[in-house]
Structure 1
Amino acid sequence: MFETLGERLEGALSRIRGKTRLTQADVDEALAEIRRALLEADVNIGVVNLISERVGVAAVGAMASPSLTPGQQVVKAVHNELIDVLGQDTYRIRFASTPPTILLLAGLQGSGKTTAAAKLALLLRRQGRSPYLIAADLARPGAVRQLEILGEQAGVPVFSEPTTPVEVATKGVAEARRLARDVVIIDTAGRLAIDDALMNEVSEIQKATQAHLRFLVVDAMIGQDAVVTARAFDERLELSAVILTKLDGDARGGAALSVKEVVGKPIAFASVGEKLEDFEPFYPDRMASRILGMGDVLSLIERAQDTMDEDVAKKGADRLRTGHFDLEDFLEQLRQVRKMGPLKGVLSMLPGVPKELKNQDIDEGEISRIEAIVSSMTKAERKNPSIIDVSRRARIASGSGTTQLQVNTLLKQFRDMNKMMRQMGVGPPSATRSRAKSKRKKRR
């Protein structure tokens, strides 16, 4: 998501980013391009006008500024405006003084509400909470069973019964209290469109349970329609915040850039992938930086801390530094990196990565093939690849479902990497000392 918008904004700002002097023509051209980029991203027209006006004021100030980098001032102004429309501050759940804290999830059918409920439960469980899921969506066939499966994967119990949504919700809250669970997440039914039946049902559940927080789950792919949906639900439920799903898709970004400014409700969480772990708090400042190609190192670090085994990562770094890094270590590190999600998403968080590289279609299948090749080797072969002769290569290729050429290519790349490390001075202490002695002899 935001890729096209980010490219357009980067293109508009790159022309003025390094300029030491701005003309009115420079400003007008940049503002026109920024406005076009936002409109094409399906951002609400009111929000587009607001951003354009404020950036225009900042640009005029930059023209008159004695600063040597007025272009950078405009970039900063755009960054600040994006943060403002995205919500400024990161949303924090305020837990009830007397547990359980009751969270009600509402939204249209197909928004990813049931999955979002399980993802939120997993996130809270990992934060030390004891969540409890209530499957109150009795209208959609399979919704209860879906939540039960997802709840099992998340390690969170699920309550439901074949009565009515209101009864399920009230009995579920009572059961959560009995079990001393401190957070309750209620998954409600959706409809293909907003109607009285949907609104009445979710309103009755809210009244019966007195939910402390009401989250609207919105599909980021629907653009400005998200604003209409949010307004309708807010009138009946007095929403607390919004959860954006499918933020990893190819949506243009209009929903995220419109809902907070127009409806006045913050974005609390974002679903950024298909796995239950692909769910995170929404950070307006980090998202604004991503949109403008500035990277998001903090989120990358947090994702690494959450997914990677620190001991394995440290062991790999130590062995690489001492020149003992072998294919066994390589396989371990590859599996650690894959835990962080699609590599394209990881690249998008790194600052300074060229646009061409970010836009590359990274073949995740190629990574799987590499993993299969190394996994098909014996432990001795991983420790000492030099013993891999023609017959061993044929066996490895057959076992991994690849060709001998692909096995040869991987081995050559690994040899080249080790050679480069040696040239950089990385190697076993004895080898390093030998090279040092050799250099001293030559000088003599």
Structure 2
Amino acid sequence: MKIIENGTVTSPIGFFGAGAHVGIKKEKKDLALIYSQVDAKAVGTFTQNIVKAAPVLWDKMIVENYDHARVVAINSGVANACTGDEGLICNEQFAKSVADCFNVEKEEVLICSTGVIGKQLPMDKIITGIPKVKQLLSDNQEAGVIVAQSIMTTDTMPKHLAVEIEIDNKIVTLGACCKGSGMIHPNMATMLGFITTDCNISKALLNKALKEVIQDTFNMVSVDRDTSTNDTVLLLANGLADNKEIVDENEDYNTFKEALYYVNEYLAKAIAGDGEGATKLLEIQVLGANSIKQAKVIAKSVCTSPLVKTAVYGNDANWGRLLCAMGYSGEEFNPYDVDLSIESEFGCLQLVTKGMATDYDEQIATKILSSSEVKAIINLHNGECKATAWGCDLTYDYIKINADYRS
């Protein structure tokens, strides 16, 4: 697998992108388009929050009932969630306006929205903005970066990448971008994510690969234990790499799935590291579990603990908080079998052996925790299964950002 420098959703053959400011926000780019020049098989995963935004309901209907899509339109600034029948009408009008502009059917248009909940979409600005953004469409890397910038809300940086693999002696590319910084919690995808590929693969296997990969990547991310109303990940495959269609779970399928996993894991970690107000990426590895479920539940419990997150922010090796979070996870284990260590670019240090503190050096522990990427490794000595969760520290700035969010 080859990593494409500065790659994004426009890296695969036949995908174009654009973004611009159309007036939904005060100043920043707020409308983006991703366009495939040919029909693209489309699959997706969506929030499990009972309160679902209008675009989530629309996209879910499209990917479950139609074979392909041509355009994804994304606005930031307004979520179009909790907006009733008017919100549903506006979302369909949004799709129809994009479809008319591209001379396709509205059922070939996927819509995503992100921003403040409860506000209606400013349809006049969106309708006049769609042709403006369409004129900017390009398949160059800059256009893909602009797409990533245009979907941001409280993100501090655009998140995107692309990779190349070889399938059937053809170069196949996967490109992606996402947004996510707050309202991030493992319960599907916890963000907006867009993945494009020129791979020729059946829709059934495309759907299977995405749903399985999501479980170990975006489903293992948490910033603040809040699952959004708008969480969506869309994957489009237009087949222009011209490889023989993947219709079986063979070596080609496994190669594609491994690349998809890499892309999703990269973006999942990028979201965690860019959590609102965060200064550190926190990784929790659970080893020696008796089941994947046990490993995942415990990893998530530790990763989402406010006391763990604040200790990490303070460079405080308060390991008791990790064991406490493990203990209320709901999973059974013997605390006196647990080993726990911390690791970063500044070294590795075992804090706990068989549930008891080691004679570790607090200064070394503090130095390790002062890194921008910190890992905690927990071994339950209870089996052969493992899982990893990603999160971030909890800082004063998280409160400031969310206290002032609507202003």
TM-score under structure 1 length normalisation: 0.26
Computing the radius of gyration over CA atoms, which structure comes out larger, 1 or 2? 1
TM-score under structure 2 length normalisation: 0.28
- Which structure carries more helix by proportion? 1
- Which structure carries more strand by proportion? 2
